[in-house]
Amino acid sequence: MDTLQVTDEQKQHLQSVADGVRDVYNVLARMRYLDPDWIEAGPHDLTDRIQDFRSVEINDDIIYLYILLPYVYAAHSVHCFEASEFIDYRTCTKAVLARLRDPTDIGKKAYMM
């Protein structure tokens, strides 16, 4: 995390975003949509992924957010609204990261008739 260029103000804001996501996941757990044990709280060590993120032009503040975010343990394959799934930036391939950065790619393959 030391190699990321993130201001203290950004860190504070990003922590509040991650806390908000955690709160939503906790509500889903209380509603029994998720098992509380599936929620993996941050921070996470993504040191080995920083160059992958940067290679697809993800800014350091967003990388820092990825470190802070809670994730839903992917092995449980939880499906949400409209067949969406929880994303885990810790394990995305570079190709998936690049595709996520392309706003014209959203749903092309999934909803094409």
pLDDT for the residue numbered 84: 67
pLDDT along the chain (113 residues), means of 10: 85 97 94 89 93 92 95 68 74 82 64 37
Which residues share a beta bridge with 71? Answer: 40
User: What does the longest C-alpha to C-alpha distance in the chain come to?
Assistant: 47
Q: Which residues pair with residue 72 across a beta bridge?
A: 39
> pLDDT (tens digit, 9 = 90+) per residue, 13-43?
999 999 999 999 999 899 988 889 999 999 9
Q: Which residues contact 58 (CB under 8 A, 6 or more apart)?
A: 97, 101
> Residue 21: its pLDDT value, please?
96
Single pTM value for the model: 0.80
